[in-house]
């Protein structure tokens, strides 16, 4: 696991085991606010050890940016913390959490001691957490999933975007129109830095270009899939649509972005076929 200090009392932790997933810690006089957890318990346990090394016996809050296990499975390790999420996140964990975790345990023995932890506090559009001079703004940013949120550390202007911002937008679980709107909201927030749900931190000079190119990517893949469908092409032909031809690099996340790109194409294809949009 990699740890990076990005501001006074603000830290980012990265998974070495799965897709450079990111989690954050904001230290406050009353303890700590944890933003997402890491995919595997041994990685999240390192965050706990870090807090202990800072003289912090426990986290006060854990914020889940969305229900996906690579960001939420470690929540159960933070005993005594209040868990915060969007209302839809809690609903998704209640509906699918146990089933998805059972499937994960069949494939990964390291997950055997994980249990689903349901959020204690939920919100719909926006929520603020205040501790002394620290303010965190939690805002709904749907698109990757219906329940996705971002967390802005005010003052430092650091946005923990969850998977609303990634090296390649990822929509099979979500809605590309909602994601376009959420990316527009991200620009209006004017962050000095974005901690993506996966991958490298975006600095101020990179934010606008990256977000705008994400919107263009969503436009490009919609056009490319429409072309395949209009000429009567099959789903198998989507493999010919290269990620770089759609405006994103194949390098980030050790090449995993190409798999995410193909999943995006298949999701649009299947949705279009069902709705006969093209």
Classify residue 184: in a domain, yes or no.
yes
pLDDT at position 149 is 98
Average pLDDT, the chain: 96
How far does CA 153 lie from the centroid of its chain?
16
Tens digits of residue pLDDT in 112-134: 999 999 999 999 999 999 988 89
How far is it, in rounded angstroms, from Cα 121 to Cα 82? Answer: 7
Classify residue 173: in a domain, yes or no.
yes
Tens digits of residue pLDDT in 248-262: 999 999 999 999 999
Classify residue 239: in a domain, yes or no.
no
Tens digits of residue pLDDT in 182-212: 999 999 999 999 999 999 999 999 999 999 9
Classify residue 10: in a domain, yes or no.
yes
Structurally, the chain folds into a number of domains equal to 1
Classify residue 273: in a domain, yes or no.
no
Higher pLDDT, 277 or 25: 25
The runs of H, that is alpha helices, within the chain are 41-53, 69-72, 87-92, 98-107, 176-189, 204-230, 256-275
- Enter the tokens of residue 3: 């740890």
pLDDT at 30 over 90: no
Tens digits of residue pLDDT in 88-114: 999 999 999 999 999 999 999 999 999
Classify residue 98: in a domain, yes or no.
yes
pLDDT at 58 over 90: no
Kindly list the strands in the beta sheet with 158-162, ordered across the sheet, starting from the edge strand earlier in the chain. Answer: 126-131, 134-140, 149-153, 158-162, 193-196, 202-203
pLDDT at 36 over 80: yes
Compute the Cα dihedral for 50, 40, 261, 256 and give only its sign: positive
Classify residue 233: in a domain, yes or no.
no
pLDDT at position 274 is 85
CATH number at residue 47: 3.60.15.10
pLDDT at position 278 is 52
Classify residue 222: in a domain, yes or no.
no
pLDDT at position 277 is 54
Please spell the DSSP secondary structure of 207-259, one letter per residue. Answer: HHHHHHHHHHHHHHHHHHHHHHHHTT--GGGGGGS-TGGGT--S-TGGGHHHH
State the chain's maximal CA–CA distance in angstroms. 63
**What is the extent of the structural domain holding 172?**
2-206
pTM, to two decimals? 0.96
CA distances, 35 to each of 95, 201, 259 (Å): 22, 15, 26
């Amino acid at each position: 696991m990699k740890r990076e200090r990005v501001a006074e009392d603000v830290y980012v932790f990265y998974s070495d085991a799965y897709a450079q997933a990111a989690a954050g810690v904001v230290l406050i006089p009353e303890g700590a606010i944890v933003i997402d957890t890491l995919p595997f318990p041994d990685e999240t346990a390192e965050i706990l050890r870090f807090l202990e090394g800072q003289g912090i016996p426990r986290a006060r809050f854990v914020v889940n940016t969305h229900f996906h296990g690579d960001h939420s499975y470690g929540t159960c390790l933070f005993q005594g913390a209040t868990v915060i999420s969007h209302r839809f996140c809690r609903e998704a964990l209640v509906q699918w959490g146990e089933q998805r975790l059972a499937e994960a345990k069949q494939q990964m023995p390291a997950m055997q001691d994980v249990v689903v932890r349901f959020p204690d506090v939920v919100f719909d559009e926006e929520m603020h957490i205040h501790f002394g001079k620290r303010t965190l703004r939690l805002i709904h940013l749907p698109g990757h999933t219906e329940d996705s949120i971002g967390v802005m550390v005010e003052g430092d202007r650091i946005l923990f975007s969850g998977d609303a911002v990634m090296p390649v937008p990822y929509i099979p679980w979500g809605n590309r129109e909602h994601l376009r709107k959420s990316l527009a909201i991200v620009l209006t927030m004017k962050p000095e830095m974005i901690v993506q749900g996966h991958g490298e931190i975006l600095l101020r000079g990179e934010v606008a270009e990256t977000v705008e190119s994400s919107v263009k990517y969503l436009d490009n893949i919609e056009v490319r899939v429409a072309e395949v469908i209009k000429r009567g092409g099959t789903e198998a032909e989507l493999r010919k649509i290269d990620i770089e031809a759609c405006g994103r690099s194949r390098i980030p996340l050790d090449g995993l972005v190409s798999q995410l790109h193909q999943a995006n194409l298949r999701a649009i294809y299947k949705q279009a076929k069902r709705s006969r949009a093209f």
